[in-house]
A and B are shown apart, each in its own frame.
Chain A
Amino acid sequence: MLAVEFILIMFLASILAGAIGAIVGLGGGFVVIPVLTIGLGVDIHFAIGASIVSIIATSSGAAVTYVKDKLTNMRLGMFLEIATTSGAIAGAAISAYTNSMVLEIVFGAALLISLVPLVMKIGEDIPPIPELRGLAKRLSLKGSYKELDGSQINYNATRPGLGLVGMVAAGMISGLLGIGSGSFKVLSMDLAMKLPMKVSSTTSNFMIGVTAAASAGIYYARGDVNPLIVAPVTLGILIGAFIGTRILLRTRNPVVRKLFAVVLALTAIEMVLRAFGL
């Protein structure tokens, strides 16, 4: 394949990845990795290096809009980020001594199982507001945002301990497999902490950038971040993320949740296929 064709294909695929990623709170690796490996025959290590950079591009690109609109809950994100960054560093350290096939099967299976509770509340718009108490109260894990019709949505987080456990797992997976594991982050906030879907996806969007940055140094130094691959990926993702943020602001929570469920199912299948070397 000619370099010019490669650049064009990756640029277009990355626009799609960035747009979907920015809406559901994932990094875009779920599109970038299979297009590179299955579609274009690139080595998996270069694909993972490109995925790490694409996660940071999705995160920072989308954040330009989300910070201004105050959808992202920075307190919640920062508190949980202690767990994900430590998990990511630990994961990167033990990645050399583990079998990634087993990990991919476990992760894929975990994602498939978590589809069940997700689908059960598929139509939910705003979750019932739990009472703010205990650790969540001391950490002021609450917030509010404006819906597109101008109404103010208030929310409280519950079970921060369980959320924290989910985030350590998300961080470990991220460090071990070189993915953003935004899927696990959104799930932890949505299922354990009972936050509105848009808050979960935009806060995950903030978090995946920080988690990916924590392990990016290792991938960069290893020489896995290939410039010819990351150039079209980064540019495409940034454009896509900009489009995605505009769409999210106009979309209601149940639609975001449905899209997330579909992407989650595809990611899970992809992970299991990768484990079997397909």
Chain B
Amino acid sequence: MRLRDPEAMNDLVSYLLRSGVLLSSGIITLGAVLALAKYGSLSTSAFFVYLPNQIPHGTFNVSFSGILSGLAILDPFSIIELGVVVLLATPVARVLLSVFLFAAEGDRLYVYVTIVVLALLLFGILVTPLIPLFNA
């Protein structure tokens, strides 16, 4: 892998996107099949209860520890959420790799531009959920 070759970097971005998409769709398919087997003949109304006065608003796990313990017992919804997390990671990984892609092309200006975008993105994903202002 020659990191200084823009063509090779472009192939790497394409390869990474394909792997991320395939991995996430594989995990979600597994979760969906298990959900169909377990809940397929139940009414959807039980799963679509929206609780406006509490966080989280849904009746399913959103914490990482909750998802991890769900995975251990093959809980369909925890498996689906793991797949969603992998999917959410693909745009971040793409921006991260673009930093190296522009570096390989020797384009300093766009290395900086991309680092700014990456910083904003990570701030949005990791920091804003912790700020009460964003959680009303």
Contact = CB atoms under 8 A, between A and B. Distances in A.
Interface of A: 1-4, 6-7, 40, 42-43, 45-46, 53, 56-57, 59-61, 63-64, 67-68, 70, 74-75, 78-79, 81-82, 85-86, 88-89, 92-93, 95-97, 139, 209-210, 212-218, 220-232, 234-235, 238
Contacts of A95: 136
Nearest to B133: A93
Leading 7 A-B pairs by shortest Cβ distance:
A223-B56, A96-B136, A214-B124, A221-B129, A217-B125, A223-B58, A227-B80
Contacts of A74: 98, 101
Interface string B86-97: 011011101100
Contacts of B120: 82, 85-86, 89, 214
B56 A222 contact: yes
Interface majority SS on A: helix, strand, loop or mixed? Answer: helix
B95 A218 contact: no
Contacts of A97: 136
Interface majority SS on B: helix, strand, loop or mixed? Answer: helix
B80 A231 contact: yes
Contacts of A7: 32, 35-36, 40
Given A2-B44, A85-B120, A238-B21, A217 B50 contact: no
A3 B44 contact: yes
B55 to A, nearest CB: 6
A163 B45 CA distance: 44
B40 A2 contact: yes
Interface of B: 10, 13-14, 17-18, 20-21, 24-25, 28-29, 31-32, 35-36, 39-45, 47-48, 50, 55-58, 60, 62, 76-77, 80-81, 83-84, 87-88, 90-92, 94-95, 98, 101, 107, 109-110, 113-114, 116-117, 120-121, 123-126, 128-129, 131, 133-136
Contacts of B128: 89, 92-93, 215, 217-218
Given A45-B50, A63-B17, A64-B17, A234 B124 contact: no
A231 B32 contact: yes
Given A60-B17, A223-B55, A232 B32 contact: yes
Given A1-B44, A96-B136, 5 more contacts: A3-B44, A46-B48, A60-B17, A212-B91, A227-B84
A68 B15 CA distance: 9
Contacts of A1: 43-45
Given A78-B110, A89-B120, A221 B88 contact: no
Tell me which of A1, A7, A75, A217 has the highest count of chain B C-beta atoms within 10 A of its own C-beta.
A217
A210 B121 contact: yes
Contacts of B36: 3-4, 7
23 contacts: A3-B35, A3-B39, A53-B88, A56-B91, A60-B91, A64-B18, A64-B21, A70-B10, A78-B114, A82-B113, A89-B128, A210-B117, A213-B125, A214-B125, A218-B129, A220-B62, A221-B56, A227-B84, A228-B77, A230-B28, A231-B83, A234-B25, A234-B84
A71 to B, nearest CB: 12
B43 A2 contact: yes
B98 A78 contact: yes
A217 B94 contact: no
A221 B62 contact: yes
A46 B49 CA distance: 10
Contacts of B125: 213-214, 216-217
